[in-house]
């Protein structure tokens, strides 16, 4: 019986797509290739690390920019 649980690799891929992390997408494809070529243990560990990087990125998006960051992003804007 096949479970209705979404595969982890699909979740990682969907998060990469949602946030436009194209470097991460390339890295994920390379890790999947490595897994197919016999380095599955190492690839799994690196996919887990990739997942943590994505989660860190999402957390950073949730933090509003401070005055200094706003000035860096928009130098002509008065804060």
pLDDT one-digit tens code per residue, 43-78: 899 999 999 999 999 998 888 888 888 888 888 876
pLDDT in tens, 2-51: 567 889 999 999 999 999 999 999 999 999 999 999 998 888 999 999 99
CA angle, residues 21, 12, 10, in degrees to nearest 5? 125
1 within domain boundaries: no
> Which pLDDT value is given to residue 62?
87
Q: Give the number of domains in the chain.
A: 1
- Residue 3: its pLDDT value, please? 63
Residue 40: inside a domain, yes or no?
yes
Structural domain containing residue 16: 8-73
Predicted local confidence at residue 15, as pLDDT: 95
Is 60 within the bounds of a domain?
yes
Cα–Cα dist 10/42, whole Å:
18
The verdict on residue 53 lying in a domain is yes
């Amino acid at each position: 019986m096949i479970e209705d649980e979404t595969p982890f690799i699909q979740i990682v891929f969907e998060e990469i797509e949602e946030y436009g992390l194209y470097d991460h997408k390339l890295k994920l494809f390379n890790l999947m290739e490595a897994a197919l070529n016999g380095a599955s243990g190492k690839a799994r560990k690196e996919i887990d690390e990739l997942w943590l990087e994505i989660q860190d990125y999402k957390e950073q998006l949730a933090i509003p920019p401070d005055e200094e960051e706003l000035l860096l992003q928009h130098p002509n804007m008065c804060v």
